[in-house]
Structure 1
Amino acid sequence: MSDTVPPLRRSEQLVEEIEERIVTGQYHPGMRLDEQDLADEFRVSRTPIREALIHLASAGMIEMRPRRGAIVAKVSPTRLCEMFEVMAELEAMCGRLAARRITPAEQAELLAAHRACEAARDAEDPDAYYRLNEVFHQHIYQASHNGFLAEQADALHRRLRPYRRLQLRVRNRMNTSYSEHQAIVDRIVHGDSEGAADTLQRHVVVQGERFADLVASLQALQTSDAA
């Protein structure tokens, strides 16, 4: 698994752009996303639009309905909090198993991913940090050596992608995230399975002030887009 940020394909760029418009309310719940309209708006052919919509449907951001096409899915704040709670538990399980099962080669890959996140943090590039953060977490999923668990964690991680990316725009969140990564790496490398699980759970769960910050960020972006 590479720890660099490869250039995004056009369909991947479209996924991120459409995700952000959904999260910020520009594409509101229940809105129909027409392939041709999107192709005209983004000045591309329908092929990358179709690929992006398929990806967004698999991630649960949109629903594909007979005779209506792609419809923006509705996610309430309560539902969002519930998904983050489940994500935190899945990540904790991955961390617990990784601390017991990680191989020396996987340790080296995890450390390389951590250093790549450090470079993005130092460059103050939240989008690059987010993509490298995904690689970091993927290494932990794989190091659990539980294929089913890794699949479930990856699926929910993809579902929460735009919200986790948005979190990194909160002031000082990148620095905090990186410090939490350091604690996670230390516990996994030293075989502290319960410490790894606890640290990952606290790293991912969005409650209290962190959830209020996320909701405030969403509302600020929605207000900006409406202005």
Structure 2
Amino acid sequence: MNNKKARAPTRTELVCKALEDEIFGGDLLPGARLDELSLASRFSVSRTPVREALHQLSASGLVEVRPRQGAVVARITLRRLIELFVVMAELESLCARLSATNMTEDERCQLLESCDACGAAVAQDLGMDAYYQANCRFHDAVYEGAHNSVLAELISGLRRRGEPYRRKQLARPGRMAVSQAEHWTVARAIVKGDADAAAEAMRCHVMVQVDVIGELLPMLPSGVDE
């Protein structure tokens, strides 16, 4: 089991997470202006991490930059979310399929270590943030194991857009325990070299976001349009 301590979040990550929480919590409503200087003062940081955080939130679709207005909280459509998760499910499924044949032995070890880390986060009740960090390690291991740079580029852009919503669905009771079990199903298939099983297991794992979208609606910003 990997006993490495989780790294401390950067200022950018702290600001990004705080703004995400406020958007999801309804404290920042769609159309609300996000002024860099005001946010920097509020979070006691320079404008650089604020600017970087807003850039990340823009990439994820939570924030949009408007001419002469700067950054504002975006309005999200439910259809857009579903389409995003469906595409991600297929791309990650392909990653798992390729990883089953392309992963090196060292990469397989890293994959299994990430599964151990997810299991430890659940067993030790370390909380959603710790689990999500381990969860990202797992998915990163699968992306890297595919050894396909074009696929990696496609996933990188889409992943950031869906990240806040993937994080949010982990807050459902019992979801982290089920998620880490799903990781093991994917990992075992990859290690065995069973490309079909790995692809199907990963597709089902990611499609959970679509299956529970109705349950997530109360947790999403009031700016989510049906």
Q: Normalising by the residue count of structure 1, what TM-score does the alignment of the two structures yield? A: 0.89
List runs of 5+ in structure 2 lacking aligned partners: none
**Equivalent position SS for 2:92:** helix
Equivalent residues in 2 for 1:86-97, closer than 5 Å: 86-97=87-98
Q: What letter matches 1:115 in structure 2?
A: D
Separation of aligned partners in 1, 2:150 and 2:22? 32
Q: Which residue in the other structure is 1:134 paired with? A: 136
Instruction: Quote how far apart the aligned CAs of 1:191 are.
Output: 0.8
Instruction: Quote how far apart the aligned CAs of 1:84 are.
Output: 0.9
Q: What letter matches 1:45 in structure 2?
A: S
The answer on whether the counterparts of 1:170 and 1:217 sit within 8 Å (CA) in structure 2 is no
Separation of aligned partners in 1, 2:210 and 2:128? 21
List runs of 5+ in structure 1 lacking aligned partners: 223-227
Equivalent residues in 2 for 1:39-118, closer than 5 Å: 39-118=40-119
The answer on whether the counterparts of 1:63 and 1:72 sit within 8 Å (CA) in structure 2 is yes
Q: Which residue in the other structure is 1:178 paired with? A: 180
Between 129-138 and 34-43, the greater mean CA deviation after superposition: 34-43
Once the two structures are superposed, residues 103-154 of structure 1 have per-residue CA deviations (whole angstroms, 9 ceiling, x without a partner) of 1111011011111111111122111100110111011001111111112112
Q: Which residue in the other structure is 1:27 paired with? A: 28
Once the two structures are superposed, residues 155-198 of structure 1 have per-residue CA deviations (whole angstroms, 9 ceiling, x without a partner) of 21211111111111100001100110110011110111111111
Separation of aligned partners in 1, 2:93 and 2:78? 23
Once the two structures are superposed, residues 46-91 of structure 1 have per-residue CA deviations (whole angstroms, 9 ceiling, x without a partner) of 2321221122223332222232111222211221111111111111
**Equivalent position SS for 1:71:** strand
Q: Which residue in the other structure is 1:225 paired with? A: none
The answer on whether the counterparts of 2:24 and 2:219 sit within 8 Å (CA) in structure 1 is no
Aligned length: 218
**Equivalent position SS for 2:72:** strand
Q: Which residue in the other structure is 1:150 paired with? A: 152
Instruction: Quote how far apart the aligned CAs of 1:20 are.
Output: 2.2
Q: CA RMSD in A?
A: 1.9
The answer on whether the counterparts of 1:34 and 1:69 sit within 8 Å (CA) in structure 2 is yes
